[in-house]
Amino acid sequence: MRRLAILAVLALEVPGVPASSAGATQTVAMKGIAYEPKQVTVHVGDIVEWANQDIVAHTATARDKSWDVNVLPGKAGRMVMKTPGRFDYICRYHPNMTGEIVVEP
């Protein structure tokens, strides 16, 4: 149900992006209490998908609190990157889990 809820949110957001520039999806694994890869570069409109391969919940939470994605064990969470910039992020449950997303215009 959680996954459905996330997809429903995506469905609401995607229409704002012209179909011709529909974003690519970049996957980041949550594995061994770490993000893999730790750093990804995407473009505005692209989707970052976090795939939790651990047996505990993780989050991808921007240090500036601009976004927060909670991902249950064995599930995936996605977000459309709408704002250019560099975003450091952490897991709220495991603050040693750190990652970075660079969103290019």
Report the distance separating Cα 88 and Cα 38, nearest Å: 10
CB neighbours of residue 3 within 10 Å: 13
First to last CA, the chain: 33
Check the CA dihedral 60-62-65-66 and report its sign.
negative
Among 25, 64, 88, 93, binds Cu ion (CB under 5 A): 93
The CB-of-92 to Cu ion minimum distance in angstroms stands at 7
- Based on CB atoms, which residue is closest to Cu ion, 22 or 56? 56
Number of residues that bind Cu ion (CB under 5 A): 5
Among 48, 58, 61, 77, binds Cu ion (CB under 5 A): 58
Among 43, 75, 82, 94, binds Cu ion (CB under 5 A): 94
Residues that bind Cu ion (CB under 5 A): 58, 91, 93-94, 97
